[in-house]
Structures are given as structure tokens and as C-alpha cells.
Structure 1
Amino acid sequence: MKNKRLSSNVAALWLLVLLLYSASSIGQQSNEMATEMALVKSHSDDSLQWGPCPPFMPEGCGIAVLHGDPAKNNLDIFFKVQANSAIPKHWHNSAERMILVSGKLYVTYDGEEEQIINTGSYAFGPATKPHVGRCGDEGPCVIFIAFEEPLDAFPMVVKQ
């Protein structure tokens, strides 16, 4: 009976140590995260710095980094193409989590039907799955994209 009580006390002590460690670890993470500044940006914000897209993308295409480093994981961007622009077939190493901020975007992933993304709609694009897009004539298409992996885009050669 004494061994069972000792064993149960040791287990309780270990549980207490784990809880205290977890609590201090969470507190440390909160303090580290608290040093980062909050951010709110609109796609029409004059302070956005629009950079070029890869050369295979349509003329007038732009990328604005909202948060993160394009060479590292967990990056948020705005991606903009002009109305009536075709986005050539390409793929990314990362999955894409997207919300269309303006315009109307038509996207087709290999082996799937075309999907229409309306302003305010969420879309998910699987990693490495080739796709094409087309911005409608409702105005420029601006899409918020959250990348899990570093930013990349690889063009696909379309056979004639």
C-alpha cells in the first residue's frame, strides 16, 4: 500500500512539474509575441510597397508583403492582377490560403472544375497542384494569400 501511495505521489509531482513548465513556457511565448506590433492594412493603402511578380505573370501584376519574409515560412501577401488578365499555369511548394479582396477571380486546378472566387470569398489551393487563373472585368483582382512555405511560383509549360 505504501508503494502505491509513493508511486501516486511521484506521478502527481511529475504532473505538477509539467504543468508549471507548460505555464512558464506559455508565458515566455506570450512575452516574445508581445514585442511584435499589430498590423492592419487595406489593399488600397498608399503605404503598401508593391513589388514585381515573376516574369511569367501578366503585365501590371504586383505583390505587396504584409507580414513575414518571402524567403521564410508563414508569409502574408497581397497579390494583384489587372482586370481581364490571364494568370498562366503555375504551381507553388506551399499551400495557399486566400481571400479575394477585390474583383472576381476564376481559378482552375488540374483535374478540377473552374471555380469562381467572389470578393470576400475564402479559397484554399493545395501545395504543388498546378492551376490557372483569370481576373474578370469587374476591376483589378487583389487577393490576400497566406503561404505556409517560402514564396515561390513555378510556371508550367502548356503543350499546344
Structure 2
Amino acid sequence: MTYFLTYPKLRVAALVLVFLATHVLWGQNNEEASEMSLIKTHEDKELVWGPCPPFMPEGCTIAVLHGDPAKANVDVFFKVPANYEIPPHWHTSAERMILVSGELHVTYEGEKEQIMKTGSYAYGPSEKPHKAKCGPKDPCVLFIAFEKPLDAFPMVVKE
């Protein structure tokens, strides 16, 4: 501590570094703060629903809520009809999910089937194969937050 106090140039350099670090961090937070807030439901008429990857059966749709699917940190609604089977697949990214509607039976490789009810949270590790089936009563809508760009790769099922 005495060394720091006896060298004024060192004190000035330290203060400049603290100022620059604070300014840079404040600038990054300020950029995020200038972004508009967003509130959506799965029933909003202005949502743009697009197709799922080609290996998914017809009836599956995705709506991007926030972010760019080609970049990190994208949020989507994933929707399938009642009784829909989501084939085995995996993602490069981990997934953080909340079931918005329906009942979803999910099975991750090496684990037992779990049932998500409306409002359930689920975490899916990156690159871990999984499959799912929507229950018989209502369509399933799943909110999914991807950490990495959005992708999905089919698994080859051996019979």
C-alpha cells in the first residue's frame, strides 16, 4: 500500500483504468437499457410463426420472440398440435424452457420420461439427445431460451 501512495503516476494510472472500466461497462449496460422492452403471449396475433426444421413432422411451428436465430441468446415459442411426436434430436445449445400450454412428455437420453405441465420449467443440456410427445388434449407451446444460435439435429433411430 505504501508503494502505491508514494508514486503519484501509479495512482493516476489506476484511476484512469478504473474510470475507463466503469465507462465501458456503463456504456454496455446503457446500450442494453436503450433496447425496447417486450411482452408477448403465444396467442398474440402479430407473432410470425415459421416452419420447424425439415426432419420435424408437419404441424410444428416456431416464432422468434427476441434475438437473431443465427446468433447467441435467442428466445422462441415452439408450438406443436396435440398428440404430436417430436422426433429424437439434439441442439448445440443448452435450452431453458417453460411450457406455456398443453402437457409435454419429455425423455432425455439415459433418463426416464418426465411430464411437463403448463408452467413447468425444464433445462436441457447442450448436445443431449431427447424426444417428446404433446399430450392428447391441447396443443403444446414451449418457450425456449437458447444460449447459442438456434439449431436442431435429428438422431438416427436404430430399430
TM-score (ref. length: structure 1): 0.90
**Aligned residue in 2 for 1:145:** 144
Residue 55 of structure 2 aligns with which residue?
A: 56
Q: Residue 46 of structure 1 corresponds to which residue in structure 2?
A: 45
Q: Which amino acid aligns with 2:6?
A: L
Letter in 2 for 1:77: V
Alignment partner, residue 86 of structure 2:
87
Partner of 2:114: 115
CA distances 1:21-76 after superposition (whole Å, capped 9, x unpaired):
22211221133223321111100001000000112213211000001111111110
Distance in 2 (CA, whole Å) between partners of 1:4 and 1:37 is 44
Give the 3-state SS of the residue equivalent to 2:19 in structure 1.
helix
Q: CA RMSD in A?
A: 1.8
Aligned residues: 158
Structure 1: unaligned runs, 5 residues or longer: none
Shift of 1:16: 2.8
2:105: which partner in 1? 106
Partner AA of 1:79 in structure 2: F
Question: Counterpart in 1 of 2:66?
Answer: 67
Letter in 1 for 2:154: P
Stretches of structure 2 that go unaligned for 5 or more consecutive residues are none
Query: Are 1:135 and 2:131 an aligned pair?
Result: no
TM-score, length of structure 2 as denominator length: 0.91
Which letter maps to 2:53? P
SS state at 2:115 partner: strand
Amino acid at match of 2:57: P
CA gap 1:4/1:59 in 2 versus in 1, 3 angstroms: closer
Following the alignment from structure 1 to structure 2, what is the Cα–Cα distance between the partners of residues 95 and 157?
20
